[in-house]
Amino acid sequence: MSDVHARIDGIVHGHDVVLFMKGSPLFPQCGFSSRAIAILDHCGVAYHSVDVLQDMEIRGGIKDYSEWPTIPQLYVKGEFVGGSDIMMEMFQAGELQALLAEQGIAAQA
């Protein structure tokens, strides 16, 4: 495993919910990242976000790590869930909420 993959591995296993995005939750720098944040906020769960624009090594490495070509990318309990399109499809079907509940990640009041 390369150094950057080891770093990413540490991040995605270090938090229950991790979103790799462009910008920050308060100031997303891309419409897709903004949509991902809106979905997570609707689900009401705590998440750790990583701004790939501040870390070029992760920006490049994350695409190889997940074999997924775009950002944002959502991970739950270390597993890659998908990008913003899949998050939206899952959210609308209630599957994202179900996944979070199954993994014991409670929505915060």
Partner 1 sequence: MAMPAAEIEALIRAALPDAEVTITDLAGDGDHYAAHVVSAQFAGKPRIAQHKLVYAALGGRMGGVLHALQLTTATPT
The answer to whether 11 and 76 are in contact (CB under 8 A) is no
Q: Is residue 90 within the footprint of partner 1 (CB under 8 A)?
A: yes
The least CB distance from residue 72 to partner 1, in Å, is: 12
Q: Is residue 91 within the footprint of partner 1 (CB under 8 A)?
A: no
Residues of span 23-82 touching partner 1 by CB under 8 A:
31-32, 63, 67-71, 80-82
- 103 sits in the region (left: phi over 0; alpha: psi -120 to 50; else beta) called alpha
Strands 48-51 and 17-21: parallel
DSSP state letter for 67: T
In three-state secondary structure terms, 85 is: helix
Residues of span 2-31 touching partner 1 by CB under 8 A:
31
> Closer CB to partner 1, residue 92 or residue 106?
92
Q: Is residue 94 within the footprint of partner 1 (CB under 8 A)?
A: no
Instruction: Respond yes or no on whether the N-terminal peptide bond of residue 72 is cis (omega within 30° of 0).
Output: yes
Q: How many binding residues for partner 1 (CB under 8 A)?
A: 16
Query: Interface with partner 1 by CB under 8 A: which residues?
Result: 31-32, 63, 67-71, 80-83, 85-86, 89-90
